[in-house]
Structure formats: C-alpha cells, structure tokens
C-alpha cells in the first residue's frame, strides 16, 4: 500500500472526532510527521532505538550456499518509509569470512530445487481455479456484480477470502513449452511445499486433503508421493493425524519429516521422524521438547535442528542410526541469550544459521558443529546498533503460585540507573503457545519499549515451549487459570525492586496477549494503571463464531460454547471469558485498543466490543483502527504511527 493510500482511524475520549491521515498528506506534512515522531520518541540525550530507526534496520536472510560449498548467497532488504517500498540487494560472501560483493545473476550459482536429480523434470506450484465463489462465476452475464457465495467453512483464512483458487503442484519436462501435469487435477486442495525423491522419478508434497468445514476442523496435513512413471499418488504418512511436513532426504537416501501426533492441536509436540525403507524412527519421542526446523548432515549420519529451550532457541544434534538399541542422545550445541532463528544449510562441519537477540536484528552466522562456537558472517546493521545505547537484558527466575520456577526476561532502559524509579510494563505474549525467546521484530519490539524509558518484564508463563511439554500444554482449556496467576506473579516479583515505580505499571499484549490484557483488567486489583490490547480475544462466544480455524478454538477452549455436555468447554466459556459481567464490572483502568480490518483470526469485532464497553462505562479509552492491516501491522508508516500512539498512550496514562 502506498503512502498516499494510507488511512488510519483514531478514536479518543478526549477527541471523539476521528482523525484521518489519507491521500491529502503531502511531502511537507510527511516531513513534519517524521520529525514529530523523532521528538516524541527520543526522550534521552543519547541516541536510542526509535520507531523510525527501527524501520531503517535491514532484513538479512540467507538464500543458499553455492554449488562449490565455498560461498554464501544472501539477501538484504531495506524499506523506504516514505514510499513504503522494499528494495532488495543480493550479496555473495565467503564462508571463511571477508567482504561481501553484490551480485545479480545468482541463480546459476545455486542448486535449483525445482529440478529433479538429472534435471529432466521440473516441479512448481500454480493457482488453479476449481470452485465457484463470485457472482460472475455463477451468473456470467452479471459481470459487474460484487458478490461472494459460500456453502462451507474455510471461506476465509488469516487475511484472505477464498476465491476458488488452489495451489496445485505441476510437473513438466524441463524444456520450453512442455506440457504440465497437474498432480492434483480437479482436487480442491492446496500444496504447501514439495521435494524431489533421490531417484528423480517421484516428487513428494505436503497437503491437507480436506475441504471446507472439514478443513477448518483439522490440522491433519500429510505427505504425498507422486510417481512420474505410474502417475499414481500415495499418502506416505497415512495414519499420522496431526501436522506432517518438511520432508527431506539425506545423501544416503533416508527420508525425514516433522510430525505432530494429535489432530486439531496446532501446538502439539513437533517430533523429528526418519525412515529407511519400512523402518521408521522417532528421534525425539523421548525428548521433552519440540522441534522447529532441521537439516541433514552431509554424510546423512546426523540431523541438526533448532528448538526453543529456556527462553531462547538453540541448535541441537541427534544421531541417525537405524540399528540403535536405545533412543539417541540429543546434544545441545549452542548456548547463550540468543535465538538460532533459522538453519539454512549444513556445509561440512559448519551450520549456516541466522541469529537474533533482544538488542539485535537477524544476521547470518556460522556455527562450528564440534565446538558450538559462532562466527558472524554478515554485519549489515552494524552502523545502527553500534551507535545506539543498548538495553541490559537479564533472565529472572520467579516462583509461581503452584511452586514452579518460571523464567522471565527483564529488559532495562539504556543507561539504567538502579537508584531511580522507572515505569514498568508486563509484556503478555500471544500464541498462546508461542515461545517467548530472544526474538527481534519491527512490531512488538522489547528493545524499543525499553529505549523509551520503561522496564519490561516478559514472563515465560504457562503455555510456552522451551520448558517441557507439560508446561507448554498447561494453557489449553485453562486460558484464565494458572497462566493469569503466572502473569501476576511476574509483575509482583519485579515490583519488589526499589527501581520499579509501583504507581506506574502497565500491561500490554496482542492476540492471546490481548486476551490477557482484557482478562487482567478484571482481576489485577489495582496493580496496573494502563492497558494496551492489540487484536485481542475478548468475547469467547463470538470468537468461536467468527474465527476461521475452528480446530484451534475447539482444542484450546475445549469445544463449542453451546455443547452443554462438554464440561471443559462450559468451564472455559463460564469462567475464562473476559466479556463476562463478573470481569467487565471490575474494569476501571484506561485502555488503548488496536484492531486490523483484515484480521480474520481475531476479527475486529472483538476489539469493538471491548471499546464500546469502556466508552459506555466512562473509562478513558482509545480505539485505533487499521483498515488494511491483518493480525499484524505490516505497513511501515502504519507501524511508525502504531508505535507512536503506543508510547503516547503510555505517557498519558502512566
């Protein structure tokens, strides 16, 4: 979306007339806007992170290792806030280190994964129209109509309406004008990823072969194998009922994939499974963790994977031995307060990864697979991070009400002075089963919050992976239970410190974190002076009726709200609904609410309901509507205004 189409609506108790920033904004007004942002967000004399500076941070992503295994190809993306356009450049750098060189025609240097072994055949995905949706599909003569007609669920997903198209896998000879074979001909399903088998005669792909309402109720994706000779398709993970994905082959021809056991549970333990012929091994079944991504070693005798652990994401190693008599040992290779966010390649005895921490955006590193030592390869954001004051980030162990040890990250303002008192924010993570690690994001950015002079406490409360499967699962069907006690334990614990201003505490969060804010508003007993909720779940009944992935609400809420025979569901809707009179009648605290017009996961009505209650109860509140944003705020200018309003609200209320 271009700057001249930008449109944001802000509603306030102090100013009931909404302000619209639209296509009438000219360059002078844009300059004034950025200048005002810089003035309002730089409260300290020393340079710190600001919303505008955050969008100058370049996005670094590895593309691949060259065929000779000596060089890395990577992409650097910069954003022009004024035009809201991204510009990408491609670089090549030696894996041994050195200076990067910009290149253009890099594809000839990399293996083409769309081609089979002998490069005779090519596979690709294309959209295929199979379903009538629009008025003109049903009534061709009504070509000016604007109508969408649906007969089942899955009519929209995240931020996109179902338009009757499906992503199909097409295979053809690798030559111009060759006939393409639709592997899923006439099937109303989409393919999410594919890989060629070592023999070059079979292609494997991932698909959830369910349609409409069945699709919305299930997480059962499978891996299918299409044989080019027989033209037959086989489900090779049949009987595995959860998510099966990420298929790959070792140099020895062994097969690996990731698999979840239970249908409908999107945050189930993710296991690493390998096969040789008819022999199958679950390499992580015995391990109390969940795998994110993986890569084979060059000789096929090991697999390297990353996984959340202790509020971070680290690199692990596991042996692949089909003759083993006991479960393999899983070895953690890296340790530290950082995230190994992605594993791109394994080259010899090294892993090519991306690394982040709360103070630094992603850069590319090489990990020595024997010692676990990390060597930085790219440093595209050095000029930014070397010239701002950084936060001190410390791990804090908090005793919960049920006697467990809970990790929390505490992010201190740059140039922190323990003799002073600071306003403090409780950060409520979304998910609800998302790991709270050393992430770095242009959206919810803990470094930026601290740079504005706030202490941030981010607890790894119940429901987060990285602390064992039991801890991760304790949030399901208990959204307003122990997890809320965990939040209160976190803010109470940090508040024991003399540098925390107990009269200036707030709670902020998005998605489930927004739900947490709404729920805490009814139980916090005066702890918080201000709340901020972004795209949060407020009314569990209407959420069930308007969200798109029903399997999620079925699992986490326990089922449908009208199922009076379901005790788990009835407990959820009666005890854990933030919109219940028992909680809403205790609301007294000012609240800022953000919603996205294209958010179909947590539809904007959730925030509207909460804002309407706040207004009718006479509680200071503000409603900010982003018509073209989804569950996240992705537009650069929208993001800057989001952050500016965020800190403006805190300054008003804290």
Q: Which residues are catalytic?
A: 511, 599, 631
Radius of gyration of the chain (CA): 26
The token pair at 274 is: 């390998």
- Angle CA 635–640–642, to nearest 5: 90
Q: Count CB neighbours of 494 within 10 A.
A: 21
* SS3 per-residue string spanning 600-633: CCCCCHHHHHHHHHHHHCCCCEEEEEECCCCCCC
Contact of 243 with 259, CB cutoff 8 Å: yes
Query: ∠ CA 212-214-220 to the nearest 5 degrees?
Result: 120
Asked if 206 and 244 count as a contact pair (C-beta separation under 8 A), the reply is yes
Two structure tokens written together for 247: 């298929």
Residue of 102, 107, 106, 98 lying closest to 89 (CA atoms): 102
Q: How far is Cα of residue 244 from the mean position of the Cα atoms in its chain?
A: 19
In terms of phi and psi (left: phi > 0; alpha: psi -120 to 50; beta: otherwise), the region of 629 is beta
Strand bridging mode 500-510 / 530-534? parallel
Task: Give SS3 for 100.
Answer: coil
Q: Rounded to 5, what percent of the chain is helix, strand, coil?
A: 20, 30, 50
Give the residue among 395, 475, 397, 470 at the shortest CA–CA distance from 437: 395
Beta strands in 154-269, from DSSP E residues, in sequence order: 156-157, 160-161, 165-173, 181-182, 191-196, 202-207, 222-227, 233-235, 244-249, 255-259
Written as six digits, the tokens of 193 are: 């990823």
Chain centroid to CA 406: how far? 22
Contact 530, 508 (CB under 8 A): no
Nearest to 130 by CA among 192, 170, 188: 188
Give the separation between CA 436 and CA 428, rounded to whole angstroms.
9
Distances (CA, A) of 184 to 126, 155, 172, 180, 181: 11, 20, 14, 12, 9
Q: Which residues pair with 456 in a beta bridge?
A: 411, 425
Closest CA to 334 of 294, 379, 371, 284: 371
Q: By the 8 A CB rule, do 265 and 259 touch?
A: no
CA distance 366 to 69: 13
Contacting residues for 38 by C-beta, under 8 A, at least 6 apart: 50, 52
């Amino acid at each position: 979306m271009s700057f001249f189409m930008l449109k944001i609506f802000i509603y306030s108790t102090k100013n009931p007339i909404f302000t619209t920033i639209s296509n009438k904004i000219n360059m002078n007004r844009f300059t004034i806007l950025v200048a005002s942002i810089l003035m309002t967000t730089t409260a300290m004399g020393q340079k710190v992170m600001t919303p505008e500076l955050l969008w100058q941070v370049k996005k670094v992503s590895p593309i691949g290792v060259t065929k000779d295994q000596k060089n890395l190809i990577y992409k650097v993306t910069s954003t022009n806030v004024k035009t809201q356009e991204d510009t990408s450049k491609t670089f090549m750098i030696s894996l041994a280190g050195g200076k990067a060189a910009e290149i253009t025609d890099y594809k000839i240097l990399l293996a083409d994964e769309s081609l089979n072994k002998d490069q005779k055949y090519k596979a690709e995905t294309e959209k295929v129209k199979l379903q009538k949706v629009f008025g003109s599909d049903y009534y061709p003569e009504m070509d000016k109509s604007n109508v969408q007609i649906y007969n089942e669920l899955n009519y929209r997903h995240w931020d996109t309406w179902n338009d009757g198209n499906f992503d199909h896998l097409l295979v053809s000879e690798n030559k111009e004008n060759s006939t393409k074979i639709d592997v899923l001909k006439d099937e109303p399903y989409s393919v999410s990823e594919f890989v060629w088998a070592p023999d070059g005669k079979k292609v494997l792909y991932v698909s959830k072969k369910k349609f409409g309402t069945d699709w919305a109720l299930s997480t059962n994706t499978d891996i299918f194998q299409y044989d080019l000779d027989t033209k037959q398709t086989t489900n090779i993970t049949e009987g595995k009922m959860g998510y099966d994905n990420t298929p790959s082959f070792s140099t020895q021809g062994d097969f690996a994939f990731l698999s979840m056991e239970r249908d409908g549970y999107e945050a189930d333990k993710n296991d690493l499974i390998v096969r040789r012929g008819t022999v199958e091994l679950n390499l992580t079944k015995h391990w109390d963790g969940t795998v994110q991504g993986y890569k084979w070693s060059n000789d096929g005798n090991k697999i390297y994977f990353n996984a959340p652990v202790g509020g971070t994401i680290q690199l692990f190693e596991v042996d692949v031995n089909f003759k083993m008599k006991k479960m393999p040992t899983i070895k953690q290779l890296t340790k530290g307060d950082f995230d190994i966010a992605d594993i791109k390649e394994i080259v010899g005895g090294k892993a090519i990864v991306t690394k982040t921490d709360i103070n630094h955006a992603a850069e590319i590193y090489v990990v020595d697979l024997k010692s676990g030592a990390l060597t930085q390869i790219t440093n595209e954001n050095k000029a930014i991070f070397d010239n701002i004051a950084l936060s001190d980030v410390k791990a804090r162990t908090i005793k919960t009400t049920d006697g467990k040890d809970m990790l929390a990250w505490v992010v201190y303002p740059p140039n922190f002075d323990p003799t002073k008192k600071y306003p403090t924010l409780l950060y409520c993570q979304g998910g609800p089963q998302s790991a709270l690690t050393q992430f770095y994001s242009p959206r919810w950015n803990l470094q930026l919050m601290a740079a504005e002079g706030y202490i941030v406490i981010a607890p790894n409360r119940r429901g987060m992976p990285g602390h064992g499967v039991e801890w991760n699962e304790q949030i399901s069907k208990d959204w307003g239970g122990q997890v809320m006690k965990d939040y209160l334990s976190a803010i109470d614990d940090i508040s024991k410190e003399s540098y925390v201003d107990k009269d200036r505490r707030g709670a902020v969060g998005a998605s489930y974190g927004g739900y947490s804010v709404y729920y805490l508003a009814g139980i916090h007993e005066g702890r918080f002076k201000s709340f901020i909720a972004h795209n949060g779940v407020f009314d569990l009944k209407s959420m069930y009726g308007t969200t798109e992935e029903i399997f999620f609400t079925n699992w986490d809420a326990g089922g449908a709200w009208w199922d009076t025979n379901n005790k788990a569901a009835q407990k959820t809707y009666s005890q854990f609904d933030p919109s219940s009179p028992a909680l809403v009648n205790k609301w007294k605290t000012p609240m800022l609410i953000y919603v996205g017009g294209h958010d179909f996961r947590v539809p904007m009505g959730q925030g509207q309901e909460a804002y309407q209650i706040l207004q009718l109860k006479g509680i200071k509140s503000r409603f900010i509507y982003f018509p073209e944003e989804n569950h996240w705020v992705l537009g650069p200018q929208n993001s800057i205004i989001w952050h500016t309003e965020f800190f403006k609200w805190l300054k008003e209320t804290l």
